[in-house]
Structure 1
Amino acid sequence: MEILHFFEVDSTNARAKALALQGHAECVVVAGRQTAGRGRLDRSWDSPAGEGLWTTQLLRPRALPAENAGGAVFVAGLAMAEALSDFAEVRVKWPNDLVLNGKKLSGMLAEAGFEGGVCSWLALGVGVNLLQASFPPELPSATSLFLETGARVTPMELLHRYLDRFAPWYKIWLRDGLSPVLEAIRPLSATLGRRVRIGTREGEAVGFRGDGALLIREGDQVTALVAGDVSVRGLYGYV
């Protein structure tokens, strides 16, 4: 797959979406810096030059139903957790973050276009904090691989590790659905088995539904929460 390098972009997802609408083939957009990086729920993402991996894959999955496109963030999260496993024991925080020592290391964002009820293109973005030695006070829950482990991993080294691990999981997802991906995430989960807060409610995260929704037990009742509904935080910190 072609890798397109940019010194600076507003966001790699925005650039990939523009390429998709121009009819560009599948590719990987990677930037040295983002001036308007975004995460889930349109939150901003701090993306300093050369200090992290800021990338988006433009994918064109064939016949992927529109309702299944959101599963891509789980595929990306699993692949990136595996790519980082030689350097640190990262955990997957539902639905789209990776955490290390209780702080946010990485986030994923999937956006898609649809025609006739199927996905015509998918922009799957990943941001990973790698080399930052500090973060601004307004980001108390953020960390980098360097801060936690002392490892100096370059963005391009991690990109190639990630793409190598993403490819087989992507094929499995398209062929067999999300369940095998969720099963592989289960032992890496920072969320399952934890008490979590959802707005003003509290409960225990007990599992995943087949579509990736988080199952929360509140007393005798189990509720399924889809990724777009809530921001789930542990009762005792970020995770």
Structure 2
Amino acid sequence: MLNLNTKIIGRKIIYLQEVDSTNEFAKGIAPQEEEGTVIVADIQTKGKGRKLRVWSSPKGGLWMSIILKPNVHPKHLTKLVFISALAVVETLAEFGIESKIKWPNDVLVGGKKICGILSEGKYSENRVEYVILGLGINVNNELPKELKDTATSIREVLGFEVPLIDVFKKLIGKLDKEYLQYLKGNYEEILGRWKMYSAIIGKRVRIITDDGEIAGVAIDIDENGALILKQNNGVLERIYYGDVSLRFS
């Protein structure tokens, strides 16, 4: 166990050599665990992304989950993904890597995914019990052949390996800073900076939802985290959940 003396995030760190999923591990201990506890693993055997997609998590990557218990209205929980993405972008910048955020939860470098974020939790209409914020960053890990065209890593971008602990420490510091802004209610400032790094605002996109596909120009993100899409007929649509594609065939 390592104490990095951060204010909230990282006050307690649980290190695991191997786990099925850091998010699942975190959910098992969250009710009694202190806020800011970080679970980090060398390997995830059943790493997951949104919609239960498999997330390749071999040794060399940064696989971690954070237990949070913010005293906020549940409607503000979507913004936790925003501050996580900002922290990742700022961490990558420390290594000279320019990145963009693809709504709702991916960080891209050169159009390729370098980080995914998964938020889960237990809450009611009026009360948050806990939130698990999972982050997976490709650092020095080998990428599966089938992902070579759509994913990248810090090692691939820089051409050399970076110490995993350096990435971890920088990310914890950035997350802590962003979370403190979140707790202060600085939502407009957070959203404004998120938009600065957006990979899709102003661009024509295709959204794949459970109900089908919808295309148009992504013009904004509202205060609740919804994507505002201007369809071909000029009608504005708010999208709360879906996968964004910048590719049209």
TM-score by length of 1: 0.91
**Gaps in structure 1 of 5+ consecutive residues:** none
Aligned residue identity for 1:223: E
Aligned residue identity for 2:103: W
Checking the alignment, whether the CA contact within 8 Å between 2:40 and 2:65 is kept in structure 1 is yes
Checking the alignment, whether the CA contact within 8 Å between 1:75 and 1:173 is kept in structure 2 is yes
- Corresponding residue of 1:145: 154
Aligned residue identity for 1:233: S
Checking the alignment, whether the CA contact within 8 Å between 2:58 and 2:142 is kept in structure 1 is no
Task: Give 1:201 shift.
Answer: 2.5
Relative distance call for 1:162 and 1:138 in structure 2 (3 A) is: closer
Worse-matched range after superposition: 178-187 or 114-123: 114-123
Alpha carbon RMSD of aligned pairs, Å? 1.7
- Corresponding residue of 2:81: 73
C-alpha separation in 1, matches of 2:104 and 2:173: 22
Q: Is the counterpart of residue 11 in structure 1 residue 21 in structure 2?
A: yes
Checking the alignment, whether the CA contact within 8 Å between 1:133 and 1:146 is kept in structure 2 is no
- Corresponding residue of 1:225: 239
Aligned residue identity for 1:221: V
- Corresponding residue of 2:188: 179
Matches within 5 A, 1:1-239: 1-21=11-31, 23-26=32-35, 27-49=37-59, 51-62=60-71, 64-87=72-95, 88-114=97-123, 117-137=126-146, 140-199=149-208, 200-218=213-231, 219-226=233-240, 229-235=241-247
SS of the residue 1:104 aligns to: strand
Task: Give 1:136 shift.
Answer: 2.2
Relative distance call for 1:185 and 1:151 in structure 2 (3 A) is: farther
**Gaps in structure 2 of 5+ consecutive residues:** 1-10
Worse-matched range after superposition: 90-99 or 115-124: 115-124
Provide, for residues 70-117 of structure 1, a one-character-per-residue CA deviation record: whole Å limited to 9, x for no partner.
221111000111011022001111110000111110000111112572
C-alpha separation in 1, matches of 2:119 and 2:203: 26
Provide, for residues 32-68 of structure 1, a one-character-per-residue CA deviation record: whole Å limited to 9, x for no partner.
000011111211100002x110001111112x22222
Checking the alignment, whether the CA contact within 8 Å between 1:215 and 1:225 is kept in structure 2 is yes
C-alpha separation in 2, matches of 1:79 and 1:39: 19
Once superposed, which parts of structure 1, at least 4 consecutive aligned residues long, lie more than 6 Å away?
none
SS of the residue 1:84 aligns to: helix
Alignment size in residue pairs: 232
TM-score by length of 2: 0.88
Checking the alignment, whether the CA contact within 8 Å between 1:53 and 1:156 is kept in structure 2 is no
SS of the residue 1:176 aligns to: coil
